[in-house]
A and B are shown apart, each in its own frame.
Chain A
């Protein structure tokens, strides 16, 4: 069983929803990333989604675009990100790490080399935004051969027939994007999300994470009530953006505590 699968199993036994914060590796500076990861775990992260900076983040809104640009100033690419995961693993062998990024950095080294290196760094899951299942069959096989979970996105416009195709390739969990649009976009409609999550559950036994548009305790709590995982991205990055070297870890810890309290208080 993969680390992601066992984390979901344990949380389910406790009646809890996973809290998955997202940060972009190297933002605001590569020296902070591993500390930020440990701080998030200490304050309630059940898993971490770690963004791989890319020069052309087409699916991201301005907040995460800026995070990518800040990281790229320091030339943080895939190799640097994998080194950060290795460093994190020296003191944390428990928390699943899911890389989230775009196809081209993977294409640049090739699927096999990427999968080998991700395994060596002890990465647990990979979300590749612009690899729909039709285009990445070989990549998925390379990951699964190494017990790394390929995590796929489902969107409000994904037809049930495609949901079947996607869940047949996915493992670990599926990630329901609760809004049309880019990351950090407007407010989410919890009723609509609830109905979609229920219908996705009819098509798969995989845990369902929900992300995009979760920005505070209230939306985190409402989402936690219907999902197996709550992913918080732009709000994390905004907090990082608004911090300085001295208060960065403190501000992130405060936000995480607030979100964790909300997620744990949700009525399942």
Chain B
């Protein structure tokens, strides 16, 4: 079997990926590409990254056998990769440390980031504080409202949070605004993208920094169950936590890789954020070619999901590729299904999951039911749900 070796030198995953940016950004991306190539295999860089992951983030994150949940569901054994236990409460910190260490080596004193749910913004603000870098986070004004606790955390960490009022006022618009900042301040600024999207080398670089999730999981599954899982399930917005856990499994046969998109009110309503499941056409946005929710004129359409972190009209180009080559499968879970899984994990296992991760949990429950008791489903529990308590309270008519 030929080993998986993507992307190509210019960041293409088949027809997907690439570097679709204005000329003003080309040199900055080239500088980044060269520097990342220089450091990605550099022992000193990797040692510093590993040190921070261990001592600052608290890695390795454990794998937990959710026995009560598995029994309740009545099928395959459900295991959880506990990224929710990382410092700052989600997988996002893995990548921000990697990029911030690169920023430091490139001599850039200022970092910027876009954020949806606020987890990537918090993770960027955190590492910026730790390394003494100036930090500006762009966040759609709609998201600022629904993720107030994370906005406050970023401010506590010394970051400037800029609410973005353009377009749909969500993640994609925050990304546009961060790009504009970068074009203007490229001499002193490093743009820390939070997902496996954007122009090359971001999709590859973010995947590489997140791959620690899957690398650990492969070892831990052997320790815990003496075998690899039958299926790995992760939620997909841009898709960084999914790529992180999928990537080390791509060459492992007989492990199904399943990405769970946000079906919002239902794929058939059009109010969703599931370009892969809905068979959206191929297009170009935010520097890469991928499947993209758009109208007949090629305008990007507004997405809907109860979870801000999945509310994105595109998807990382490597997921588009994995779908096309049929190495990964993509499904979607509605707001209601995700909410039910959220409450289920709270009550059954004593873990409050992020609404994003609840999409993966909901599908894992569906899947486990169809499997034998001796089979294993590994869910990437990408983040904890503390940030979502206001959203959940509102939906469940609970007064805080």
Contact = CB atoms under 8 A, between A and B. Distances in A.
A108 B23 contact: no
A132 B183 contact: no
A158 B23 contact: yes
A166 B24 CA distance: 13
Q: Give the dominant DSSP class at B's interface.
A: mixed
Contacts of A58: 22, 176, 179-180, 286
B34 interface: no
A106 interface: yes
Of A78, A130, A156, which is in contact with the most chain B CB atoms at under 10 Å from its CB? A130
Contacts of A109: 298
A102 B27 CA distance: 19
Given A108-B281, A134-B10, A185-B184, A54 B299 contact: yes
Contacts of A130: 20-22, 284, 287
Interface string A56-74: 1111011001000100100
A182 B301 CA distance: 23
A104 interface: yes
Contact of B184 (A57, A153, A181): A181
Nearest to A185: B184
A76 B23 CA distance: 26
Contacts of B286: 56, 58
A129 B21 CA distance: 7
Contacts of A246: none
B166 interface: yes
Nearest to A76: B297
A103 B282 CA distance: 12
B299 A157 contact: no
Contact of B23 (A75, A102, A153, A181): A153
B283 A107 contact: yes
Contacts of B284: 102-104, 107, 130
A134 B284 CA distance: 14
Given A55-B167, A103-B284, A107-B282, A159 B300 contact: no
A135 B18 contact: yes
A162 interface: yes
Interface residues of A, number: 45
Given A56-B176, A65-B166, A107 B21 contact: no
Contact of B183 (A59, A107, A162): A59
A204 B249 CA distance: 50
B297 A108 contact: yes
Contacts of B184: 180-182, 185
A72 B302 CA distance: 13
Nearest to B177: A58
Contacts of B282: 107
B24 A177 contact: yes
A75 B297 contact: yes
Contacts of B283: 104, 107-108
B166 A132 contact: no
Contacts of A155: 22-24, 26-27
18 contacts: A56-B173, A56-B176, A65-B166, A78-B297, A104-B283, A107-B284, A130-B287, A132-B20, A134-B19, A153-B22, A155-B27, A157-B24, A159-B27, A166-B23, A180-B24, A180-B183, A181-B180, A185-B184
- 4 closest pairs, A vs B, by CB? A77-B297, A108-B298, A105-B298, A181-B184
Interface of B: 10, 18-24, 26-28, 166-167, 172-173, 176, 179-180, 183-184, 186-187, 281-287, 289, 292, 294-301
Interface of A: 53-59, 61-62, 65, 69, 72, 75, 77-79, 102-109, 129-132, 134-135, 152-159, 162, 166, 177, 180-182, 185
